Amino acid sequence: MFGLPQSTEVNCPMPKAQLYKKFELKQAQRDVFDADIARMEIVNFIAPQSLPGIAEGTEVKAVFVVDVELKRSDY
């Protein structure tokens, strides 16, 4: 999709419920989020483990590329 090496591909679904729990979203916030987002998927994981040519940073250890499918296209 982005020309990243195949070693970084993970294609792992990301349940919205995990985000609700992680960020302790209130019901109203969940409803808005659910109205806008159809699905999310982690498509790439960029880190020294998946791409040996890069080094781990002092603050950033890895980067996740997330594909977000919206329910509406008028933003």
Instruction: Look at residue 74 in the predicted model and tell me its pLDDT.
Output: 77
**pLDDT score of 58 more than 90:** yes
- Taking residues 18-42, report their average pLDDT: 95
**pLDDT score of 1 more than 80:** no
Q: Which residue has the higher pLDDT, 72 or 33?
A: 33
Confidence of residue 75 (pLDDT cuts 50, 70, 90): low
The token duo for 21 is 């729990």
SS3 assignment, position 59: coil
Q: What is the pTM of this model?
A: 0.80
Calculated CA dihedral for residues 23, 33, 11, 47, nearest 10 degrees: -40
